[in-house]
Amino acid sequence: MKINDLETPCILLDKDVVIKNINRVQKIANKQNLNLKPHIKTHKSPFLFNWQQQAGAIGITASKVDEAIPFIKTGVTSVTLAYPIVDQRKLDRLLRHINQSDQQVSLTICVDSILGLEVVTAAAMKANYPIFINLIIDVGYERCGLDPKDPLILEIAQKTQASKYLQLSGLLTHNGLTYGAKSKKHIGKLNTSEIKQLLKVKKLLEEINIPIADISIGSTPGVLSGAQTLTGATELRPGNYIFMDRTPFELGLINKNQIAISVLSQIISENNHYYIIDAGKKILSSDRRKNVEDYGLVYPYNKFGKRKKELRLVKMSEEHGFVKKEKNIVYKIGDKLRIIPNHSCVVANLASAYCLLEGDTLLRTIPIAASKTSHGINQF
Ligand SMILES: Cc1ncc(COP(=O)(O)O)c(C=O)c1O
């Protein structure tokens, strides 16, 4: 089946580009001798993680417990949840799955509060399972994590050391400031500052005999900005790089042809101002990036054309997209269009399968086993 024969809307993945993106980042990690533990919130697919693993990835990073479970079921043996957990039931559920699986899973949980540590301690004790702890450090993004000077770092580190089931293994951060960077050089500076802050905390802890093995960082722009600015880290956790999207493109880190994901849609109606397509917020998400006034770039179904062939998806309702008409770019009702989404990770979470393409031919569909896992589907 060819692209134009597919029923819409659907999520297209270009196999060749996916493989190139996987290899590109693995090469960056290898060059600096860093472990790569991709964040699977981007693709949510054990099938695709298998490709990352074959290239050299050592395990997965996930956010939510239920996102990680399908990967554990397919044999993944190293899991980091880079997201604080302060409700023990969630960890109990994860540990039940781990205990039911055939293999030993090396589990790392991230902590930035006493409550978080108490929850992990209680869950580890209940399941009689060893857990590695990564302390989350806030390097300026102000989302999760402790300020590098916060005395709680020491308190949590000492309490972790005192626990029979826990082992403090690393310091972890996610520097979301890279998404707002002005240039590749700016991202490099953010990387350097981020790693410096983590190494300072490591030094303070090691001075009082608390060893820190891992310095874990990871955002796709940070990693793409180049291996030399990652010195001092031991682990990378980018996620978005496997597909890419508008963000690294607008940051000038990639070109359009390095974006592996797109949404195929069909024009279902039109008026003076807009082509109306069958893809809205329920497939593309309403995510907008800084400085980007629209929800996606729109091209003919068969290629990402040049700027002058580009339309913009300027409005969306749930099931409809409004593609703004431009002179000299003419389509008709029934035509198929291909959209580069602003944020690929959210698109994957909304869908249940990818259409994997080789050139313009459908190879197969790939289930998104962990899609829609952001709301505790397995709790009942
Ligand atoms: C804790 C953590 N690690 C890694 C990542 C991966 O970053 P990116 O989406 O830029 O690849 C994220 C993304 O939000 C994250 O929150």
Q: What atom in ligand 1 is closest to the CA of residue 240?
A: 11
Is 344 near ligand 1, meaning CB less than 6 Å away?
no
Measured CA distances, 222 to 70, 273, 302 (Å):
28, 39, 31
Do residue 214 and residue 258 come from a single domain?
no
User: What range does the domain containing 207 cover?
Assistant: 15-239
Q: Kindly give the distance from the C-alpha atom of residue 112 to the centroid of ligand 1, in angstroms, as a whole number.
A: 17
Average of per-residue pLDDT values in the chain:
95
Do residue 235 and residue 332 come from a single domain?
no
Both tokens assigned to 194: 């981020």
pLDDT at 102 (0 to 100): 87
Q: Tally helices (H) and strands (E) across the chain.
A: 11, 17
Do residue 267 and residue 150 come from a single domain?
no
**What is the rounded average pLDDT of the residues 126-154?**
97
| pLDDT greater than 70 at residue 378 | no
Is 234 near ligand 1, meaning CB less than 6 Å away?
no
pLDDT at 287 (0 to 100): 83
Q: Kindly give the distance from the C-alpha atom of residue 237 to the centroid of ligand 1, in angstroms, as a whole number.
A: 7
pLDDT at 85 (0 to 100): 97
Is 188 near ligand 1, meaning CB less than 6 Å away?
no
Do residue 43 and residue 190 come from a single domain?
yes
**What is the rounded average pLDDT of the residues 167-192?**
94
Is 289 near ligand 1, meaning CB less than 6 Å away?
no
Do residue 79 and residue 205 come from a single domain?
yes
Domain final position from 208, 239, 270? 239
Q: Kindly give the distance from the C-alpha atom of residue 176 to the centroid of ligand 1, in angstroms, as a whole number.
A: 8
Q: What atom in ligand 1 is closest to the CA of residue 221?
A: 10
E strands, 91-191, are: 106-111, 131-136, 166-172
Do residue 44 and residue 108 come from a single domain?
yes
Is 237 near ligand 1, meaning CB less than 6 Å away?
yes
pLDDT > 90 in the chain, percent: 89
pLDDT per residue as tens digits for the range 15-62: 999 999 999 999 999 999 999 999 999 999 999 999 999 999 999 999
**What is the rounded average pLDDT of the residues 105-114?**
98
Is 190 near ligand 1, meaning CB less than 6 Å away?
no
Domain count, the chain: 2
Q: Is the peptide bond before 38 cis (omega within 30 degrees of 0)?
A: no
**What is the rounded average pLDDT of the residues 289-304?**
88
Q: Compare 328 and 305 and report the one with higher pLDDT.
A: 328
Do residue 315 and residue 225 come from a single domain?
no
pLDDT at 379 (0 to 100): 63
CATH number of the domain at 151, please: 3.20.20.10
Instruction: Report which of 234, 240, 241, 227 is spatially closest to residue 187, judged by C-alpha positions.
Output: 227
**What is the rounded average pLDDT of the residues 341-346?**
92
**Sign (positive or negative) of CA dihedral 261, 267, 273, 279:** negative
pLDDT at 228 (0 to 100): 84
Do residue 151 and residue 195 come from a single domain?
yes
